[in-house]
Structure 1
């Protein structure tokens, strides 16, 4: 029996497109991937940088046109049975019109809130059934008559975990004011904590490229690839997951527990996916977080039980292999 051919159209986004591709292959599809913002020659790199960074009103139409036409060319060449678009808000109207006219089955998976993307309400009617990591967006879309389902992010259970000997409570992620304030409070309270990422790093090259001249005043490490980040989180006594203004849960939510790390998260509504106090730890204040970290250091057996339970739950329910089974309903 011939496998259905699926075209995956995705941004590069830390290489997650490869994880999604491989999970869909394991589901029984032939998959061709097109990374629509992949760096190419110098002109293409500049184009992609402008598309990402410029406000909508200043973004030249011909830049979107280049990305769109390239995706259409791949679609025309591959002639897939199904198309799964990830995010896709850099693709212009002509891309969606091409899919509609072709009669191909297609859907879109969003890993960000709509308010941070470039979709207009009019265009949303043309992007096919929608899956989103944002429960609020799904509720809003359904209330307006859109075909939308809730599909959270996930853990890549097939990614190699790079060995690490981290002895600090870890944080891996971008440097924002609220996060910096929280981590400095832990450090000043005597909690062994380390932040990883190019914006935290004091390495000369990272300081030069980020222009982050101010020292955060706590131990830091350089940017980590996913394999290295997995290793740090797994080895740490505990690993912090500090959200911004998302209503969906970041990839880190499932990765931190999936690798066997002890996740300390700032949102009680994680109960949608994990049992607080049993599979993850939650906090609502700096004082509460400090006390949790002290207990983690003082009672490793208690901490170990929680990390083991979190890992079991993740591997059973929150892997990409499980998520693509739900995504499949977009086109069946």
Structure 2
């Protein structure tokens, strides 16, 4: 075997030293960053109140992607009430409720839950509540269901008045949130890291928008994951950056968020002709669950504007918004080149999420509404 010349050997040694130095700096940088994230997470005082009631929780029973919601709500309730009975929408819920006599039956989603069971529980004197998960996209169905419940919670601000107008006596705005157990800062492998990512289905409003940003996204280390993305006009340009038809569970989604410098969030349209059941054309003002989940990972989020978004995060300080493909491109480029500013916004967004927008926060609000005269034990 031919020996390397002294100059080639020195070049190899220098390259190795440079690589080791770069690796050390990268490792130190990421270790320091995740240490900061842990310090913020540990500074948040957890809600410890426990209500002395017996709650029956009716899971959607619809499988993924609703199963993580079932799990998050159920596990949170188990820590916040004296007794919890969990069933799902496919079981004889009314029959079970008549046997165990809970203080309240809380139904999640309810679109596939037989309303006859709600009526049977009401006739037996058992209080019922529902937490709507998909407003306003299925109001054609929800308006026929919610009047049968004693208390209605909806994640969409603009549905509150709608439900009151059709006769619901007690309607409350309760947006979704993040599960810190499912979404939190982690340190992914370097090989999985991206500059920009978007996780979600290619509804037509998203397709039209991404068509306008495709040229820029093609020049960056980008990940797009979800169904229907072959509808893009410039699909071939982005083909190698798209995981087509890929569904991710919370662990996979959290990993993808954490592996990204910037995550794009874009809401679905309230008037999509193919996938909505919203003939009343109720507009959407409230942030989607993804808004809170991205923020919980301490990743910079670029989010499209929704009317009520500023009630949850301060734009420019805890989240960044965009209004057009060109605006998105300019802000992506800016924050990719301003790392410290990007991280400061991201960590403020995580702090706000853990302080105000977790399932513990939401369930605390829900139980306070359902049992206003009860005194929880801390």
Distance 2:337 2:95 in 1: 59
| 1:1-332 superposed matches below 5 A | 3-11=52-60, 12=62, 13-36=66-89, 67=90, 70-113=92-135, 116-117=138-139, 119=141, 121=143, 123-146=145-168, 147-159=170-182, 163-164=187-188, 165-189=192-216, 190-200=219-229, 215=235, 217-218=237-238, 219-221=241-243, 222-246=246-270, 247=284, 248-269=286-307, 270-332=309-371
Deviation at 1:9, TM superposition (A): 0.9
Deviation at 1:14, TM superposition (A): 3.6
Q: Which runs of 5+ in 1 are unaligned?
A: 37-66, 202-210
Deviation at 1:266, TM superposition (A): 0.5
Alignment check: 8 A CA contact 2:98 2:124 kept: no
Distance 1:291 1:182 in 2: 14
Alignment check: 8 A CA contact 1:268 1:283 kept: no
Which 4+ runs in 1 deviate beyond 6 A? none
Alignment check: 8 A CA contact 1:200 1:216 kept: no
TM-score by length of 2: 0.70
Distance 1:176 1:29 in 2: 42
Alignment check: 8 A CA contact 2:98 2:121 kept: no
Deviation at 1:299, TM superposition (A): 0.9
Matched residue of 1:237: which SS? strand
Deviation at 1:312, TM superposition (A): 0.6
Alignment check: 8 A CA contact 1:89 1:117 kept: no
CA RMSD, aligned part only? 2.7
Deviation at 1:217, TM superposition (A): 3.8
Distance 1:310 1:105 in 2: 37
Deviation at 1:115, TM superposition (A): 5.5
Distance 1:255 1:115 in 2: 20
Alignment check: 8 A CA contact 1:172 1:229 kept: yes
Distance 2:81 2:140 in 1: 33
| Larger Cα-atom Rg | 2
Alignment check: 8 A CA contact 1:8 1:33 kept: yes
The corresponding residue for 1:55 is none
Of the structure 1 ranges 251-260 and 192-201, higher mean CA displacement relative to structure 2 is found in 192-201
Question: Which deviations, in whole Å up to 9, do the C-alpha atoms of 1:200-240 show, x marking residues without a partner?
Answer: 49xxxxxxxxx99x956420233221111112112311101
Distance 1:120 1:272 in 2: 25
Matched residue of 1:169: which SS? strand
Q: Which runs of 5+ in 2 are unaligned?
A: 1-49, 271-283, 372-378
Deviation at 1:97, TM superposition (A): 1.4
Matched residue of 1:255: which SS? helix
Deviation at 1:177, TM superposition (A): 2.6
